[in-house]
Structure 1
Amino acid sequence: MRCSQSHTLTYLRHHVPADELTVNRLFVSAYLEVRGVAQPRAGFLSRFVIKNSDNENSIHQEVCRRVISDFGKDITLETMVQLFEFVVSPADRIVTGAIYTPIRIRKAIIANCLNNMTIEELQKIHAADISCGCGGFLMDMALLIHQKTGKPYSEIYRENIYGIDIQPYAIERTKILLSLLALIGGEDEDFEFNLICRDSLDVREDGWDGRYRNFDVIIGNPPYVCSRNLTDETLEKLKRYEVCRTGHPDLYIPFFQIALEMLSDNGRMGYITMNTFLRSVNGRALRFYLSNQGYSISIIDFRGYQVFESRNTYTCLFFLNKADRTRTIRYAVDENSELPGAVNYNIIPLNVLDNNKGWTLNDFVTTTAIEATGIQIKDYCPSRHGIATLSNETYIFRPEKEDDRYYFHDGFRIEREICRDVVNPNKLNTVDDIDALVEKVIFPYYIEDGRAIVYEPDEMKRRFPRAFAYLKAKKKVLFGRDKGDISKYPQWYAFGRTQSLVMPRYKLFFPKFANMALKCVICDAPDLMLYNGLAFVSDDERKLRILKSVIESEIFWSYIKKNGKPYASGYYSLSGVDIKHFGIPEFTSVEEDELLEIDDKNEKEHWLKEKYRLSLTRV
């Protein structure tokens, strides 16, 4: 049962007040009743037990029925972890980044950090989750320590595990889970917890509790909040951290530095976290920081596999051992999230990686050889993104019919003279004929000295009265662009951005995302425009023909699969940051002629591999 689709949660959303206390009481009482666990005597946990005389009793009975329907009578504490995480409000998720971490991921991280410890080390361990959410990691750590050492939960909670979270309800739910874990283990008392409600970004501030430092282990799932959703207060706090000095860092970025500063000299950390820091501008300062620290790092990269069912996020497991300063990264790809016991890592010295452009870790030897070949693609030929109208549904259309003067669309006549042809290259891999992709775009500009200048309103009304009437009918939509602030637009009907309004004669179109080797098209059409996709552009058709041969090759596609940003369903990004370092061999004129004369795909592939000096079995 996927908890996000459960009857229990559906019922709660429609019939139960949203306050945390009511939800906590319902979940705890349902767990105890369905599992047949004796009611706790301890004061803390007993607050969450619904009695027959309580107002919530009828709702409680219905929740119990739905829990049994969803999970059967074998409801576990893992079910409680899921339920607590899934009732976090969508608004809170956006701001705090709270998300449920599957148990197999938690156990893999804990095993990596704790399994090699002796019983004596486990008895004395100080372990923390500094963004603990509802306590899943802490619960698993407590269980492991208890099972391996026989130490009572009361002592483990008091001496060994620590949790920090910014939300009070998260701390309370962590206490509930840990109390239930102890209760089913035969311990029924009010425990002394090391759980504090604080913002971990404040760890450097005066007044921070000194017990929450010098940890042996820090594990967890740092909050997933993109930079655009951060509050001004949080953005200000990020400035304190060295790892946040490039780009627009997301909230997970500083949690690397915070963990390292809170660990003891021989401490270990284990995270499931975004994998974007490996290549992104936002992660550049973090890469420099980790490289300068020189600790041994291990990464299991899930690439395009989505661990979290409710998020379009791409993640990896990240491990660091401060006792090991071998200055290496051990890297492995696990695209099915199989988490094998023995991981086949590739070992890469930190000093051979380029912190500035990004860490190229997947098939490091081959990728490095390709990127060191000839001229990088970003320097070989310029590329362009498509036009940005910010209202494609207004400007771009397929005519319902046409005559010598007008295109007919949406009940309007639109002058042919103001329209240009436009294509969406993202559809190239599924369409054989680019002519099938051609649409029309209303282009309210004229070209003067190589610049696109928007028509003045009087000129628009005089020359293109039908098109102007159409745009005027869409005025409300057009005024809503850029969140209603179009004050910087030269005219209200201008495109949202000025990119790609003037293009060179030849264009090599290719998609922005692909799930197979590319099919590209070269067009000789100065006025042909593009949207959504990408194009290499030049006034030299021969250069684009050579480039087309290269980027349609398996060499290029293999490079993209290993280094492009992955997406669901086997798609990969071909944006500038993903392809710009790909090397194009410096062909002689004779070699260019030879390449362009090869028609057979396999022969061309073999020819290119020789130029890249690659083993024919590696790509």
Structure 2
Amino acid sequence: MDRNIFKYLNSKKLSDTNKVNRLFVLAFMKMNNWSLQQHPYLLEYLNINIPKNESYDVDEFTSILKKYNCNLTFEDLIELFEFVISPSDRIVTGAVYTPSAVRQSIISHCLSKFNARQLYTLRVADIACGCGGFLMDVAKYIHEHTRKSFWDIYYENIFGIDIQHYSIERAKILLSLLALNHGENFVGDFNLIQADTLDFCSDDWNSTYTNFNTIVGNPPYVCSRNVDEKTKNKMLRYEVCKTGHPDLYIPFFQIAMEMLDDNGNLGYITMNSFLRSINGRALREYFSEKGYDIFMVDFRGHQIFRTKSTYTCLFYLDKASRNREVFYSTNERGDLSTKPVYARLSYGELNNKQGWSLNDYCNTIHLESIGIPIGKYCQSRHGIATLSNKTYIFKPQSEEDDYYILEKNGKLYHIEKEICRNIVNSNKLNSNISFESIVEKVIYPYIINQEGCVKVITQDIMQIKFPETYSYLISQRDELSKRDKNKTHGYPTWYAYGRTQSLLMPTYKLFFPKFANKPLNCFLCNDKSLLLYNGIAFVSDDVQNLKILKKIIESRIFWDYIVTNSKPYSSGYYSISGVNIKNFNIPQFTEEEIHSLLSLQKKNDIEDFLSPFYA
């Protein structure tokens, strides 16, 4: 659908659910030449008494649709209903429009195992149904293969649950329109309820909504930081949520498993982060304990959803198959017309704690078993967390004997040199630039006491020793108070950094970026006072270890491991964060081998030297 249609709807600032429903349904009827008199049920169901001021809205909206060549098909209607969910609700509920090709691929995979007789009595659910796109396609599939009426299908075969009342209303509208489009008037009811699926384990759960043959859908996309306390407490009822800080989609696996009958099957499009993340560890253990066969098609960096940047996979599980096997395939173009070619692995080969390295499994396992894991070979550090970098970090406009000159909003401030340190953003090392060019200054309101501990400089000392810097920080106090969602009362003082991480660093640091789209370009530094923000650094008091590490992580061997196993991004970048690299191994070289490696300077010579160790 043309983006200009969504811009138009944004400009209208639609908020009333009934008005939105009327607008879309009346526009749908008008675009498809349905008369209001032909479908009295729909008008009664929607409680449509069209206010005069809304008739103009319908005419204007249909003209916009025609202008941008939108015929307002059922698929368009689903996308519109998903679009008008408010941004705040999207964060809370994780609703997102699932493209038709994805829905149909999942439904075909899950339902093709059933013959017409079985389909006639099949119970299929979407336990986070949104406005009912999956349910619509299931109804069409059963109707096509059994010739059963839509209203009988609605009453006997499909079941939907969603936490939002307007999603349930829109699902009813969508399914009603589908039946009417096939010449069926209203003769039945729906199995659609507004409920929080997380309440499934409670004693008062409606028993109609369990014991399904098939569950399909798209679990909610809500990251752990956006999950409220009430929801977090509900999630902790499920064993798959016992590790890390689980995202909201995680418990929907266990709930689906418990809602299915003993021979039931599941088809989701969902996030792929559970394969390697700490918060997916309990889920991996759950699957391993149950031993169900799993089929996955991993889209890796390809973005399936236009409106949400997330990394997904198709996930299928059949409770009737307990061969303790995982079947894994990648589809980095999102072409659902291609038949997956699966690698076949047993649960016994997989490391639930460490993460499932399913892509190029044999080579990955070899690279993760030949020496010392990089996470144990050297410590890594993330940068400082001021939570207001634009306040503390700057490139001096100029300098005087004792001061750096900082420019902010057209005004110049004097900052005492003694309170500043050098700092770098090592993410910039992915570009072909010199290290010196990325060095900046940071206001560092801390001292290191005789015990080697970092303490914030008190206000009385700040005012006496660093009056110019104190004056500058006073001018930024309102901005600093907004950190941590205006909850800075626990800070040791109002100008302290938001977090205390990496305030003190070892002497030797090997800087590299968090994200890269080509083999790494690292920088080894021995400046003890140099700090880091963004990016990552390996740190050690043994410079030789870092010199060895630099040779290895700048190699093609390491980069190929990253491309195979790390989290990919749609722009061609890969994550170099700890969880993605910690299991890569560093060979245990002899002293003679270390001397030989460190003497090499040319890339090709280094690659040739390392290859036998990783072969």
Taking structure 1 as the reference length, the TM-score comes to 0.95
Please give the per-residue CA displacement for 1:132-159, whole angstroms capped at 9, x wherever unaligned.
Answer: 1000000011111111221111221121
- Aligned-partner residue type, residue 437 of structure 2: A
Contact 1:301 1:335 in 2 (8 A): yes
Runs of 4+ residues deviating >6 angstroms: 49-53
Contact 1:50 1:60 in 2 (8 A): no
* SS across alignment from 2:279: coil
Match of 2:375 among 375, 378, 381: 378
Please give the per-residue CA displacement for 1:243-299, whole angstroms capped at 9, x wherever unaligned.
Answer: 111111111111101111111111110001111111111111111111111000011
Does residue 347 of structure 1 match 2:344? Answer: yes
Q: What is residue 168 of structure 2 aligned with on the other side?
A: 171
Matches for 1:524-535 after TM superposition, within 5 Å? 524-535=526-537
Shift of 1:18: 2.2
Contact 1:299 1:319 in 2 (8 A): yes
* SS across alignment from 1:164: strand
Using the alignment, how far apart are the partners of 1:208 and 1:569 within structure 2?
44
* SS across alignment from 2:423: strand
Using the alignment, how far apart are the partners of 2:8 and 2:506 within structure 1?
59
Match of 2:256 among 247, 259, 273: 259
Shift of 1:377: 0.7
Using the alignment, how far apart are the partners of 2:444 and 2:109 within structure 1?
58
Flag the 1:423–1:188 CA change in 2: closer, same or farther, 3 A. same
Match of 2:601 among 599, 602, 609: 599
**Structure 1: gaps of 5 or more residues:** 614-619
Match of 1:156 among 145, 153, 156: 153
Matches for 1:421-432 after TM superposition, within 5 Å? 421-432=422-433
Does residue 504 of structure 1 match 2:476? Answer: no
Q: What is residue 464 of structure 2 aligned with on the other side?
A: 462
Shift of 1:90: 1.2
Shift of 1:223: 1.0
- Aligned-partner residue type, residue 165 of structure 2: P
Please give the per-residue CA displacement for 1:431-465, whole angstroms capped at 9, x wherever unaligned.
Answer: 33100111111122222332222222232233222
Shift of 1:170: 1.1
Match of 2:90 among 90, 93, 111: 93
Does residue 84 of structure 1 match 2:86? Answer: no
Matches for 1:435-514 after TM superposition, within 5 Å? 435-448=436-449, 449-514=451-516
Please give the per-residue CA displacement for 1:356-397, whole angstroms capped at 9, x wherever unaligned.
Answer: 121111111111111112001111111111111222111111
Shift of 1:492: 2.4
Flag the 1:19–1:473 CA change in 2: closer, same or farther, 3 A. closer
- Aligned-partner residue type, residue 415 of structure 2: I
Q: What is residue 186 of structure 1 aligned with on the other side?
A: 183
Question: What CA RMSD, in Å, does the superposition of the two structures yield over aligned residues?
Answer: 1.8
Does residue 418 of structure 1 match 2:415? Answer: no
- Aligned-partner residue type, residue 131 of structure 2: C
Does residue 284 of structure 1 match 2:281? Answer: yes
Flag the 1:57–1:272 CA change in 2: closer, same or farther, 3 A. same
Matches for 1:276-425 after TM superposition, within 5 Å? 276-410=273-407, 411-425=412-426
Number of positions where the alignment pairs a residue of Structure 1 with one of Structure 2: 609
Q: What is residue 575 of structure 2 aligned with on the other side?
A: 573
Please give the per-residue CA displacement for 1:497-541, whole angstroms capped at 9, x wherever unaligned.
Answer: 222222222111000111111000111211111111111112222
Using the alignment, how far apart are the partners of 1:564 and 1:29 within structure 2?
48
Q: What is residue 616 of structure 1 aligned with on the other side?
A: none
Taking structure 2 as the reference length, the TM-score comes to 0.95
Q: What is residue 588 of structure 1 aligned with on the other side?
A: 590
- Aligned-partner residue type, residue 268 of structure 2: Y
**Structure 2: gaps of 5 or more residues:** none
Using the alignment, how far apart are the partners of 1:439 and 1:317 within structure 2?
44
Q: What is residue 538 of structure 2 aligned with on the other side?
A: 536
* SS across alignment from 2:68: helix
Flag the 1:605–1:69 CA change in 2: closer, same or farther, 3 A. same
Q: What is residue 515 of structure 1 aligned with on the other side?
A: 517
Shift of 1:168: 1.5
* SS across alignment from 1:6: helix
Flag the 1:538–1:52 CA change in 2: closer, same or farther, 3 A. closer
Flag the 1:47–1:10 CA change in 2: closer, same or farther, 3 A. farther
Contact 1:25 1:49 in 2 (8 A): no
Matched-pair identity in %:
52
Using the alignment, how far apart are the partners of 1:152 and 1:305 within structure 2?
38
Please give the per-residue CA displacement for 1:590-611, whole angstroms capped at 9, x wherever unaligned.
Answer: 1111111222312321321210
Shift of 1:310: 1.6
